[in-house]
Amino acid sequence: MKTKKNRMKKAERAEYVLQKLTQLYPNPPIPLDHTNEFTLLVAVLLSAQCTDLKVNEVTPALFKLADSASKMTKVPQEKILEIIRPCGLSPQKSKAIAGLSKILVDQYDGEVPADFAALESLPGVGHKTASVVMAQAFGVPAFPVDTHIHRLAQRWGLTNGKNVKQTEADLKKLFPESAWNKLHLQIIFYGREFCTARGCNGMVCEICRTCYPKRRTPKVTLKP
């Protein structure tokens, strides 16, 4: 798989990454607990600048009150704020949850639309959140890129993008569309287990060492 100069080409690195992650995580679970498209949307929104673990601790109380847009419109924003406060950015997130719930009821019969543009027009829903919902709720090929995937993609030489938008475009070119939805989860799980922000500097974990066996200085991630 390596070239004569003992350096893997980008396509070879991508092939190795896909094979290794498929071997390690053949069926990666969705890390955010949810029961339907609406609860997934809310959980992903809450996960911004917050760990999935913390979100999963908070959402049971919220979803017990309201697990649909129509039910959520009946919950005062102050109550939403009180419940989700541990997630951080709670004033903005509570306002977004209340706002998007009303829009879903008024414009989409209370259902979460399976449409990128419609999702991204909702309060608090950016491209990454929309991509997660499209991929995990509706099975539409998408490649959600957060700061963690951005970091690993740079360490593995799959992108030199300075932002998550460029990283997403580069990863979509490298990997088959059929692999996108599962691969983004596989990268997340590998990053948490082996290639953490502080536990690996581009020279520690197996994938980093295989992709760049001669790397002698830490890989500095271009901040998104």
**Other beta carbons within 10 Å of 191:** 22
Given 2, 79, 95, 128, which residue is catalytic?
Answer: 128
- Annotated active-site residue 146? The verdict is yes
Coil/strand/helix, residue 143: coil
Residues in the chain: 224
Helices of type H across the chain: 10-24, 37-46, 52-65, 69-72, 77-84, 90-108, 116-120, 127-138, 147-155, 164-174, 180-193, 206-211
Given 9, 146, 170, 172, which residue is catalytic?
Answer: 146
Chain-centre distance of CA 95, in angstroms?
A: 22
- Annotated active-site residue 165? The verdict is no
Q: What is the DSSP letter of 198?
A: T
User: Catalytic positions, please?
Assistant: 128, 146
